[in-house]
Amino acid sequence: LAGNGDPIHQLEYRISRLEGVLRLNKIITESGGKIFATNGKRADFDGTVEKCKEAGGSIATPKSPGENDAILYFVKYFNTYAYLGIKQSLIPGRFQLLNGAQLSYTNWYSNEPSGKGEE
């Protein structure tokens, strides 16, 4: 550890080093004080939601352009899609958060969302 400093500084140092290793291995990225993480494995939506809960977090739901870019970082790096913490509402083509709340940020493709999976 870095010197014989107080335990808080020792923990901050260790966390900083761990975060650096995780970033280097493309496992985490950060935006707006939030850490976005992946294990890089494919899973279904329900499995993804469960793994996020097991890790002490929740499935990613972008609430700003920066958070959207953090998720896009993984999509590009792993050349795949990402599940988000949103679902189609009872009205086709309308989406909401998993808890039913209204979306506060969207970044849909042109003519989307259509509810056909190409949003």
Mean pLDDT of 36-59: 93
Q: Establish if 116 belongs to a structural domain.
A: no
Mean pLDDT of 2-11: 80
Q: Establish if 112 belongs to a structural domain.
A: no
Q: Could you tell me which residue, 117 or 54, shows the higher pLDDT?
A: 54
In this prediction, residue 112 has a pLDDT band, given cuts at 50, 70 and 90, of confident
Q: Establish if 105 belongs to a structural domain.
A: no
Tokens of residue 62, six digits: 């972008």
Helix (H) or strand (E) holding 86: strand 86-88
Query: Helix, strand, or coil here: 17?
Result: helix
pLDDT tens track for 67-107: 999 999 999 999 998 999 999 888 877 899 999 999 999 99
CATH number of the CATH domain containing 65: 3.10.100.10
Q: Establish if 26 belongs to a structural domain.
A: yes
Which of 98, 103, 118 lies closest to 52 in space, CA to CA? 98
Give me the domain span that covers residue 40: 8-97
Count how many domains the chain has: 1
111 pLDDT more than 90: no
